[in-house]
Structure 1
Amino acid sequence: MHSPPPPGQDRDAPGPSPDPDGWWLAAIMNGAFVVLLAGALIRFVDRHPDSGRLPWVIGLSAALAVLQFAGRRPGRRREPLPRRWELARLTALVACWIVVVLLAPSFAWCAVPLIYTGLRSLPTRAAVALVAVLAVLVVIAEVRLADGTDPNLVLLPPAVATLATAVFVHMRRQTGRQQALIDDLIRTRRELAATERREGTLAERQRLSMEIHDSLAQGLSSQRMLLQAADRIWDTEPGTARGHVRTATAVAEQNLAEARRFVHDLAPAALVGQELDDALRALAAHRSEQPGLTVRCHVEGAPVPLPDRTRSALLRIAQGALANTAEHAAAAHATITLTYLDDQVLLDVSDDGRGFDPAAVSPTGVRGHGLPAIRARVRQLGGTLTVESAPGEGTVLSAAVPLEAAP
């Protein structure tokens, strides 16, 4: 389906050439016109050398040749004449041809290239009318040249003109439809590219928000808790308070490394130089050093190599789950369990905190950014997320990721 022409545009306006590289067809038509014109002129000069019409015939032949090539630049890339000049050229060309045919009927078959020129330059209806006039004049000229009555002289020119016109009009319409389809495809491709750019922008924003939440925001939250704990016991337990400050400093250094790698879009700092198992154990040990929460880590099954994308996402999921535990659950103990199965890897994070009602938490994140970010990461890996919890009974978060899902 193609769009209708804009308001004010003639539906029968001349379209593009049937062949995008139609220069060769124009060259053939121009060459045929010159050959027919030269043949008719030679015939007239040979048979009527003393005719008083000879100067007129020679002059009109020269005028026809000049008009046929007027404004035509050599080569394939030729700029067309402005429309008003093209119509003026065609009018002068047809007028000269009519006069020379009345003077010398042998010029009648020069109408064949003129038919092509008219069909290419005029709207369809005007071109058909011009072809009809040219066909009638050719019939008259052929009858004048003939010695007797021949039905072919009356039937052949209209038949040839009708056939040529039908083929050209059909090709023009086919070309118009193809051009409209190409325009639709180009427009659709541009719209699709714009949509992909918008979706890519939104996905990148979501990724950035998750990365910031799972790395920098968690580190800042840990520093705040450590510094608040140090402030409360600074006068009574200065040694313990200094330990909290040193731990906060270590967290700040880790956050700085995360920020630098985050800017360069590299893997999490905890995964540099070690596997996911070691990174989870280091995460559990680091969290246990902070007051109020003890974290253990278990690895079950035979470890298998995981894609970087899966390793990074599972580590972020564990970090986000522990951050939720520390911030919302008021738990004393938490456990990270990484299980390798034949076709998937499971990450479970459980705690003994206050729990909550999962049905009361909307997927869009009424409870904060942590759980929606975890859901998004698991969904990107083609996995499933299960949250089991109840008020007063703790929480178990389980992420199952297929091993073949991540590239």
Structure 2
Amino acid sequence: MRSTLGEQPDDTRLLPVIVYSAFYVLLSASLLRWLIRHGETSSTPLVVSLALSLAVLYAMSELRHSHRIVWFALLVATWSVLVVLAPSFAWCAVPLVYTGLRILSVRVAVTLVVVLTALVVVSQVRIAGWLDPNLVLAPPAVAAVTTVLFIGMRRQTERQAALIDDLVRTRQELADTERREGTLAERERLAMEIHDTLAQGLSSQRMLLQAADLVWDTDPELARTHLRSAAEIAERDLAEARRFVHDLAPADLAAGGSLAAALGALAARETTDRLTVRCHVEGVPGPLPQRVEATLLRVAQGALANVREHAEATIATITLTSLDDQIVLDVADDGRGFDPARRATPAGHRGHGLPAIRARVHQLGGSCAIESAPGDGTVLSVAIPLGG
């Protein structure tokens, strides 16, 4: 079943059609009854004219939305004159009551129902010629039941419309919230990508350019080597920037290489005169989801950036261990270390360094642990479950 908020149900559409048809059936029956019984009287042309006018006015009040109340007032006035002349047209009051309840306010509609019911009772009693209890009590009872049912239905419809409006508004607020959360998540992703790629590349380029500047006069060949290395890093970072803008895998993985090969290439690039980076793979890693491979490579990049910038280490080791239910990445260094219990993340730096690594790993349901002490180096261990 398909439904749309705010769409009018089929039964609500059908009710006006039934009432509309019933009015013309009752009007035709009343006019036919008058012609059969009083067709030769002098008032017949006036009754026929009023009946035709009543049919036109009812169509105008139902079909025209502009000045509907004015058309309905003319309709009631014409029907009242017609009932005075021909009491049999009193049966047309039922559709008129429905129309009045539908387009008028509750107070005005109830007043109209009372007036129409009184006019029907008077016309029927005049036909009977005596005070018939059935004619006196039945029309008010029918009018009261009809009015109460219709007002109850209208109030229920108004409550449903209010609920639908609340639901639409709630959906819009939920969509806005999800849009904001998506924007924040995308900003965090871009911040981590920039930190793990462009920021590290710019830091390496700066060190290489500074080193080239120091030996520019004394050792031009070494200076040119540093410049070529800086250019290679800039080219690689340009490829990384294009790829993470399009949310693709890191450059080392996009070429179809394995995670172990990408970590080996990373270790080779990060090896300098001051820092030696080694890579070990234990076990045979099976096919991994692209997101897991990209996360582990980014974690290794971020960890080595911390080693290069803060640890003052000479040796760093990347170890990738493949287990049955998880894959573990360790990055160890022999640097100066620190006290993890006393290290605090500065406010406003979420999404950089260790917080970025934790955020990446937690998104995949993994865990991140740091073992370090002043003077004893640091070991960063990341475990991501597989088969979840």
Q: Same fold (TM over 0.5)?
A: yes
- Superposed, which structure 2 residues align to 1:91-110 within 5 Å? 91-110=73-92
Could you tell me whether the CA contact under 8 Å between 2:188 and 2:351 is conserved in 1?
A: no
1:336-370 deviations in Å (ceiling 9; x for gaps): 11112222211111111112232322275669922
2: CA distance, partners of 1:393 / 1:368: 27
- Superposed, which structure 2 residues align to 1:64-103 within 5 Å? 64-70=54-60, 72-73=62-63, 80-82=64-66, 85-103=67-85
1:203-259 deviations in Å (ceiling 9; x for gaps): 111111111111111112112212222333344444444433333232222223223
Q: How many residues align?
A: 381
Aligned to 1:397: 380
Aligned to 1:324: 306
1:120 equivalenced with 2:110 (yes/no):
no
1:281 equivalenced with 2:225 (yes/no):
no
Aligned to 1:8: none
CA offset at residue 274 of structure 1? Answer: 0.8
Aligned to 2:359: 376
CA offset at residue 110 of structure 1? Answer: 0.7
For the structure 1 residues 309 and 285, does the alpha-carbon distance in structure 2 shift closer, same or farther, using more than 3 Å as the test? same
1:271-310 deviations in Å (ceiling 9; x for gaps): 122111111111112211x221111112223312111111
Aligned to 1:210: 192
Among 372, 388, 407, the residue aligned to 2:371: 388
Could you tell me whether the CA contact under 8 Å between 1:350 and 1:395 is conserved in 2?
A: yes
Among 245, 248, 251, the residue aligned to 2:227: 245
Aligned to 1:54: 44
CA offset at residue 186 of structure 1? Answer: 1.2
CA offset at residue 21 of structure 1? Answer: 6.8
Could you tell me whether the CA contact under 8 Å between 1:320 and 1:370 is conserved in 2?
A: yes
2: CA distance, partners of 1:226 / 1:60: 102
1:125-176 deviations in Å (ceiling 9; x for gaps): 2112211222222222222222665432222212221222222112111111
CA offset at residue 52 of structure 1? Answer: 3.6
- Which segment is superposed worse, 183-192 or 246-255? 246-255
CA offset at residue 72 of structure 1? Answer: 4.9
- Superposed, which structure 2 residues align to 1:124-273 within 5 Å? 124-146=106-128, 150-271=132-253, 272-273=255-256
2: CA distance, partners of 1:371 / 1:89: 76
Aligned to 2:3: none
SS class of match (2:365): coil
For the structure 1 residues 285 and 257, does the alpha-carbon distance in structure 2 shift closer, same or farther, using more than 3 Å as the test? same
Could you tell me whether the CA contact under 8 Å between 1:318 and 1:349 is conserved in 2?
A: yes
Among 259, 276, 281, the residue aligned to 1:294: 276
> TM-score scaled by structure 2?
0.90
RCO comparison, higher one (Cα < 8 Å, 6+): 1
State the AA in 2 paired with 1:259.
Answer: A
> TM-score scaled by structure 1?
0.86
Aligned to 2:15: 25
Unaligned runs of 5+ in 1: 1-15, 74-79
1: CA distance, partners of 2:287 / 2:347: 33
1: CA distance, partners of 2:174 / 2:40: 73
What is the percentage of aligned positions where both structures have the same residue? Answer: 62
Aligned to 2:28: 38
- Which segment is superposed worse, 106-115 or 20-29? 20-29
Unaligned runs of 5+ in 2: 1-5
- Which segment is superposed worse, 331-340 or 43-52? 43-52
1: CA distance, partners of 2:300 / 2:290: 15
CA offset at residue 334 of structure 1? Answer: 0.8
State the AA in 1 paired with 2:29.
Answer: G
Could you tell me whether the CA contact under 8 Å between 2:338 and 2:375 is conserved in 1?
A: yes
